[in-house]
Amino acid sequence: MQSFIAAVVQLRSVPDKPANLAEASRLVTEAAAAGAQLVALPEVFAWRGPHDRERAEAETVPGPITEEMGALAKRLGIHLVAGSILERAADEARPFNTTTLLGPDGRLLGAYRKIHLFDIDLPGRVSIRESALRAAGKRPVCVKTQLGCIGLAICYDLRFPELFRALGEQGAEVVVMPSAFTRATGQAHWETLLRARAIENQCFVMAPDQFGAAASGFEDYGNSLIVDPWGKVLARGTDDRTEVLSAHLDADLLARVRRELPCLEHRRL
């Protein structure tokens, strides 16, 4: 891994794809102008609206959104994690929730389909069944790049340490996790789990999050974070506004943490 500036973009997506893409492009450009070489957008950044429109709004990967984001990455000369989009696949009726990594030449370097789907039913309180709307991915994705080895995860995946361990076994030095984390669960667990995943796997974790009320009626937490391998928060967002957060990811720190506390080498299970 080399040292570089990384940035996460926090925003609130609406049921207007052109407007979302324009806002995302503006904010990614702002991050790159400030020196970021890796920029990450939140989950479902390009379109977020009523559940009954999700299948109609889904696109292929590669497809129009990834091509537009790839062109942006090439123009800016950066690596770009294009949040996640609803991916239409020929062999599955439900769309996948898919994040993509685009290189500074505009190429699609990797795509990860969210494995863990958020299903919860609290009678009289709340019912969410993501699996009824979206298909689940099957494999972890880690991509070797000029900057370092980048692992990909999405939102609810945060609660499953075995996925992060699998990314670590593939060599992940940075894990990027686009999210739309709910306010209630975010207030209780967001920072704690992000810092734990970084500490356990001795890697940087970047978590761009949506904020504010979504079309579904749920409110997202914001508080986007960048965490270092020692668990230190390098950048933190607010809970109520669009913003770009950046931090220096220090390769020497990563190497020192892994050398001085070699717990990854001490594993027995």
Catalytic-labelled residue, pool 23, 54, 149, 155 = 155
CA–CA separation, 242 and 232 (whole Å): 23
Residue 159 CB neighbours (<10 A): 13
Q: State yes or no: is 68 an active-site residue.
A: no
Q: State yes or no: is 114 an active-site residue.
A: yes
Residues 245 and 215 sit within 8 Å (Cβ to Cβ): no
Catalytic-labelled residue, pool 43, 57, 59, 130 = 43
Q: State yes or no: is 155 an active-site residue.
A: yes
Catalytic-labelled residue, pool 23, 57, 59, 114 = 114
Please choose, from the candidates 56, 52, 55, 57, the residue with its C-alpha nearest in 3D space to the C-alpha of residue 13: 57
Catalytic residues: 43, 114, 155
